[in-house]
Structure 1
Amino acid sequence: MVKIQPFEVEQWMDRLETTPGVLNIAETCAASVSIDDLMAMSTDKAAPSPLSLSTKMTYGEIKGSTRLRQNVAALFNSSALPETTPLGPDNILITQGAIAANFLLLYTLIGPGDHVICVYPTYQQLYSVPESLGAQVSLWKLKPENNYVPDPADLPGLLQPNTKMIIINNPNNPTGSTTPTPTLSSIVSFARSHSLLLLSDEVYHPLYHSYPAPPPSILAFDYPLAIATGSMSKAFALAGLRIGWIASHNPALLAAASAARDYTTISVSQLDDAVAAYALSPAVLPGLLERNMALARTNLALLDAFVERYAAVVEWVRPTGGTTAFIKFKRKGGEAVDDAKFVMEVLGEVNVLFMPGRACFGKGEDFGGFVRIGYVSETKVLEEGLERLGGFVERRLL
């Protein structure tokens, strides 16, 4: 029997996000949109609805519809480097969310006796699943003094004879940090020199709302052992579609993941596929991304003002991408709060929800006092949530 650690952040969310009347600033998706919203954003007003009532509900194309795979490939090509080999639909495998994409890849490529290097903090799946499969995992610790950007100089000290894969997350969850192009290039060079698989979870790409030179996908470097995953959930505000993808220049890696998927989901829903293809179409995508970028920038300014106002007891590294911020709360004397207790006290007293850092993203005592806030919610929700949280801080911490 495979033994896997509880997925803490998901269990905390499942347990608490349906609290009656809760102001949820724990959610990590850009505020969700509807099909009506997508159609209103479209520049092609003559285009039919993405859902056809006459479509027969077969499995559809097993790898995902050609149209959706073309549109996902175009996402990668739009931010590629000049020397990058363009991606086509055959470089894309559609999955049920990025969480399924990551799991399929790890299940397919990692096993007992392997060693994995994984950035930390990050989404727990990226290190707990390899551990459950019998691999040894070394945590590549991100430092606040380096703005939570991974330092390639750490990699030689983490490398072992059985190292098989490096895992990164760009933009990073929970810190919202952006790994810049030169750093990505150095990581690729290291992986190439040791023939290592390189998995980049890019579920928040391309939401680089506060970074002056947005980096490309890891696939822009044409490394044949590089793999990128992404989804419609975070940057594209369509979590309910449950559509994600695996992308690679390497057909063998895609074929291996596709073969493993035959034992699980086989294909994705044709309905989800059709809406995702519509959302990523040239007529809709620019408006959708513009909306989410503007929302992220507006809301980040609100969160920035909150941190500045309560700087005596709050500290952070300001995020530059994605939808999440990693914020440390402390008492006036400097002692970090108990993050899990703090989350529950805030929820109980002012009905505002966010996630505890050590409980959901740490191992041992790491990240005590930190919380993760998802700030790309509806602006009114964030405004009221921060106002209530500010009152709590004034009463309990100052």
Structure 2
Amino acid sequence: MVKIEPFEVEQWMDLYEVTPGVLNIAETCAASVSINDLIALSEDSNTPNPLDFSKKLTYGSIRGSDALRERLASLYSVRTSSPLPKDNVLITQGAINANFLILYTLLGPGDHVVCMHPTYQQLYDVPKSLGAEVSLWKLRRENKYIPSLDDLKPLVKDNTKMIIINNPNNPTGATTPKSVLKDLVEFAREKDIVILSDEVYRPLFHGIGPMDAEFPPSILSLGYSKTISTGSMSKAYSLAGIRCGWIASRDRSIIEAVASARDYTTISVSQLDDAVASYALSNSVLHALLGRNIKLAKTNFAILESFISEHGNICSWVKPTGGTTALVKFEKRGVPVEDVQFCKDVLEKTKVMFVPASKCFGEEFKGSVRIGFVSETDVLREALKVLGPYIRETLS
């Protein structure tokens, strides 16, 4: 029997997000949109409704519709000399399924994996459950949670098969710069190691712009075939409810292997989900949707930044530059709070919900919580409005 650890962050969310009246700033998706919202965002009134109610609901295109795979391939082809073919994209039921399928297909007993940490627990505990050995590539607060290859290299072994990164990072909101990515690719190429980059929060960048020399490209654009990118409509595209994600790689053999393994699991993605995702990524909707979410992220970042500055004797952070999450440390007279109990107390007394970092990401993050700040702005404002008096009274 496979042994796998409890998925702490998902269990915490399941347990507490149903609290009546909760002010949820634990959620990691950019504030969700409806199909009506997508239609309203469309810059072309002639674009057909995403759902064709006359279409027979068969399994559909097993690997994903041509339209959806072509639109995703075009996103990976921006600023590259070699466009990505649509057949190098495989549609999955969310990024969580994409990641699982890759790990299930490529890893097993005798393999060694290096995984960025902190990150989404799936990325290091699923390889362990499959019999692989896992070493954690620690991100350091003093380095603004930017990974260092000096920390990575001693972790790599002769049997290292995969290096796993998450960019932008959950929970820190840090982005791995272009120069670090290029060095990582060259190192992996020398060692013939696969790189899996969970890019589920891409392209939601709010603290760094495309004209910045260190703006991080997708891992697929750096000229190494043994790279894999996973993504989703949930986070940057506000459509968690359609459960649509993908796997993309320059190495067609990886796509073929994963597609073969998937025959034993989900077969295909719902035609309805595929159609909504295709609509959201169409030229008439994509730019307005991303514009909405980047603006929301920047607006809410400023609100959270102001709150942390106002309560600088109680809380601190390393400012995130991408994604939807921030790791915020709370202290009482210089001593880190017991973050699990702190989160429970805050929820009970104020209805504000966030995630305890020590429980969900590791004991070294004791005293910190993960805040998902790209919620509806009114929700974030109200949550911080009631949180402020509480922490001033209990932690000052």
Using the size of structure 2 for normalisation, the TM-score is 0.98
What's the Cα RMSD here? 0.8
Match of 1:341 in 2: 341
Shift of residue 155, structure 1, vs aligned partner: 2.1
Q: Pick one of 385, 388, 391 that aligns with 1:387.
A: 385
1:25-82 CA distance string (max 9 Å, x none): 000000000111111111110121000011100001100000000111122123x34x
For 1:88 and 1:279, locate their aligned partners in 2 and report how far apart those are by CA, in whole Å: 20
1:308 to partner: Cα distance: 0.3
Aligned length: 392
Shift of 1:312: 0.6
Which digits, 9 at most, give the CA deviation of each residue in 1:224-257, with x for residues without a partner?
Answer: 1100000000000000010000000111100111
Q: Does 1:72 align with 2:72?
A: yes
For residue 330 of structure 1, give the secondary structure of its aligned residue in structure 2. Answer: strand
Cα distance in 1 between the residues matched to 2:348 and 2:341:
10
Give the distance between the partners of 1:188 and 1:13, measured in 2 at CA.
35
Which of 144, 147, 154 does residue 144 from structure 2 map onto? Answer: 147
Q: Deviations over 1:171-204 (max 9, x none)?
A: 0000000111111000101100000010000000
Deviation at 1:222, TM superposition (A): 2.1
Deviations along 1:122-158, one digit per CA (max 9) or x if unpaired, are 0000000001111111100001111101111222211
1:219 corresponding residue in structure 2 = 220
Match of 2:375 among 365, 377, 387: 377
* 1:230 aligned counterpart, secondary structure: strand
| Counterpart-to-counterpart distance in 2, 1:108 and 1:20 | 41
Q: 2:188 maps to which residue?
A: 191
Mapped partners of 1:13, 1:156: distance in 2: 35
User: How high is the TM-score relative to the length of structure 1?
Assistant: 0.97
Counterpart in the other structure of 1:203:
200
Please state how far the C-alpha of 1:91 moved relative to its aligned partner.
1.0
Give the Cα–Cα distance (whole angstroms) in 2 for the partners of residues 86 and 248 of structure 1: 12
DSSP 3-state at the match of 1:322:
coil
In the alignment, residue 143 of structure 1 is paired with which amino acid? R
Query: Residue 327 of structure 1: SS of its match in structure 2?
Result: strand
CA positional deviation for 1:120: 0.4
- Aligned residue type for 2:337: V
Q: CA deviation at 1:216?
A: 1.0
Letter in 1 for 2:372: G
Q: Which amino acid is the alignment partner of residue 122 of structure 2?
A: Q
Structure 1: how far apart are the matches of 2:125 and 2:388?
35
Name the SS for the 1:366 alignment partner: helix
Please list, as runs of the form range in 1=range in 2, the aligned pairs for 1:125-144 lying within 5 A after superposition: 125-144=122-141
Residues in 2 aligned to 1:52 and 1:136: alpha-carbon distance in whole angstroms: 47
Equivalent position amino acid for 2:188 in 1: A
Distance 1:209 1:257 in 2: 33
Map Cα deviations across residues 236-295 of structure 1 (whole Å, 9 max, x no partner): 000001000000011110011111111111000000000000000011000000000000
Q: Distance in 2 between matches of 1:88 and 1:236?
A: 22
Task: Give the structure 2 partner of residue 265 of structure 1.
Answer: 266
What 5-or-longer segments of structure 2 have no aligned partner?
Answer: none
Cα distance, 1:93 vs. partner?
Answer: 0.1
Q: 2-side partners of 1:112 and 1:146: how far apart? A: 34
Q: Which amino acid in the other structure matches residue 91 of structure 2? A: I
1:162-173 alignment, distance < 5 Å: 162-173=159-170
Structure 1 segments of 4+ aligned residues over 2 angstroms from their partners:
none
Separation (CA, whole Å) in 2 of partners of 1:350 and 1:100: 35
Find the aligned partners of 2:16 and 2:153 in 1 and give their Cα distance.
Answer: 41
